[in-house]
Chain A
Amino acid sequence: MTFSPELEVKFSKMLECYPAGRTRSAVVPMLIFAQDEVGHISRELVEEVAKRCKVTPLQVDEVVGYYSMLHTRPMGKFHVQVCTNISCLILGAEDLYEQAKEKLGIGNKEVTADGIFSLEEVECMGACSWAPAVQVNYDFHHNVTPEKFDRLLTELRKAN
């Protein structure tokens, strides 16, 4: 399995940045950067990361099962993450989450039939002072109101 030239450069640097013989350390960052490029953590990817980091596929699997951002099936092109933790909760985050479910027609960790959107109710993402907050892929959206959220989802659909 090969990645884009940029990612290949990143990965070869990554494998060298840890102390000698400690390539296992690259497992988590390699998985997440690879997932961003190929879409999800497939069997093939697990085996590839295991090979590159000189660990067994099982050692990669146990990591994949632990970290919430690693997905073993494809998510939508736009992964909509609504935080409902305390600071967001008390400023209306549950309403936003319900709104997203309704507008997208999907539930938690589900993907729309066209593959454009997926939805996830997430834990605190570090935007508490600008709550409620939503993250689409890696982009933060702060002080989200139902109107702003509606506009955002409409724009994303158009952007596709």
Chain B
Amino acid sequence: MIYNEPNPLETKILTKRFGLANSAAIDTYLANDGYQAFLKASKMTPTQIIDEVKASALRGRGGAGFPTGMKWSFVPRTSPKPKYIIVNADESEPGTCKDRLLMENDPHSLIEGMLIGAFAVDSHKGYIYIRGEYRYQIDCMDRAIAEAYARGYLGKNIQGTGFDFDIYTHSGAGAYECGEETALLDSIEGKRGIPRLKPPFPAVSGAWQSPTLLNNVETFCAVPPIIRDGGAAFAALGTPKNGGTRLLCLSGHVNKPGVYEIPLGYNMLKCIDEFGGGMRGGKKLKAVVPGGSSCPLLKADECDIAMDYDTLAKAKSMLGSGGMVVLDEDTCMVKFALRIMRFYAHESCGWCIPCREGTTWLRKLLQRFHDGGGLKSDIPLIGELSQNMLGRTFCALGDAAAMPTISIVEKFRDEFEAHLDGKPCPYEHAGKFAMA
């Protein structure tokens, strides 16, 4: 299903079949370039496939932005161990709601992307780890997988290529941490989702101690168009080293929130105007979360920026997972920081101390601050505690909690000061549906 109107300014590569009648059905897929890329890949060498993915400048769409072709090249193809393909469909970074659309509307593109990856690294089993809340999407994938078996696109000797591949869905049961790839691996092994020490990286020792190719849903879905039309064509859509298009999840105080496919490097303010239809109620822009709650926020005057991995990194933020949350002038940034920290404190797996204790302490501090009990010395303390988590945790969850918090304290210090001395939150007057 599609939940918002498409926009004519979109560059529809991954979403081009969205909106077709029965878009999820294999016949629709086959009638619209479906499985052609796999047939092409099956006549290529693994190195040629990986080189094509490298040439596309595709970078991981889950959030980290690691070059996909390079990740693929790390899997030891000749290892005597079995190799596994795992899809991270645990989409749970606040602000992100794109992978579910791909699974609902175009599940076969995910299957085809997995098939091409499997062929490249000589894997014969793949798993799609889908968050438990996405039962509808699990059903969509199960249906598509059954169709693919029935039509010979999965199973033994696929389309006469001599290549065998099986795919299964695997349901999670509610845990943000399982979106971290090594925690996901522990989860798929039937354990608590606790991150692993790296190295070894999953490419070498992943699921069941075997080499594992693990990518986000959107990353796999980008592979069929790359193989079909060539890596160079995909790369040309974006900016140098930031190839292709991505699904922008636009939410917050805009007139037309929704998921839109845009080329990398699109200007952030133009996104708000052209896709978001401008700010809701003609309010002024205060800040933007560029790519999910773990990204440092940008103030309104920093938002005239190209949205690609490198430009946002230069601005000390991240493109992240594509979840762009737009905040207007009535948003209380202290409350916003508190809600982010409540989330990370709740989702911290508890495995390492800086994250477990840091997020909980920060949550309490921010709660007290928002409730009017904040001390002036709390303001630098919030920054200091966050700094002490950065880079000192097993996985990126500690960083994810620290980074937005540091940016909010640095950029909106005046709002923290406005909450001091028992003063009520200055934004509570803004009323229902402005800022809850």
Interface residues of A (CB under 8 A from B): 17-19, 22, 24-29, 31-33, 53, 55, 59, 62-63, 65-70, 84-87, 89-95, 123-131, 135, 138-140, 142
Contacts and interface: CB of A to CB of B under 8 A. Distances in A.
A86 B289 contact: yes
14 contacts: A19-B125, A22-B189, A28-B170, A28-B171, A28-B173, A28-B187, A32-B132, A86-B336, A87-B251, A87-B252, A94-B436, A123-B346, A124-B92, A129-B257
B273 interface: no
Contacts of A29: 170-171, 173
B240 interface: no
B172 interface: yes
Contacts of A28: 170-173, 187, 190
Given A67-B173, A129-B259, A130-B3, A24 B189 contact: yes
A128 B174 contact: no
B361 interface: no
Contact of B436 (A18, A93, A123, A135): A93
Contacts of A93: 436
Interface in B131-155: 131-136
A66 B188 CA distance: 14
A32 B335 CA distance: 34
Nearest to B436: A94
A129 to B, nearest CB: 5
Contacts of A135: 133
B95 interface: yes
Contact of B94 (A53, A65, A85, A139): A85
Interface stretch (B63-71, B198-206, B308-316, B323-331): B323-331
Contacts of B97: 126-130
Contact of A95 (B99, B176, B349, B432): B432
A126 B190 CA distance: 24
A90 B96 CA distance: 15
Contacts of A87: 94-95, 251-252, 323, 325
A91 B327 CA distance: 10
A31 B210 CA distance: 25
B258 interface: yes
A138 B179 CA distance: 20
Given A127-B97, A131-B252, 4 more contacts: A32-B132, A63-B190, A67-B174, A86-B336
Contacts of B259: 129
Interface in B203-262: 208, 210, 249-253, 257-259
A31 B170 CA distance: 12
A128 B82 contact: no
B382 interface: no
Contact of B343 (A33, A65, A123): A123
B370 interface: no
A27 B190 contact: yes
Interface in B12-46: none
B4 interface: yes
Contacts of B99: 126
B352 interface: no
B386 interface: no
Nearest to B171: A29
Among B100, B173, B188, B192, max chain A CB count under 10 A is at B173
Among A22, A29, A69, max chain B CB count under 10 A is at A29
B436 A90 contact: yes
B133 A138 contact: yes
Given A89-B436, A129-B251, A124 B95 contact: yes
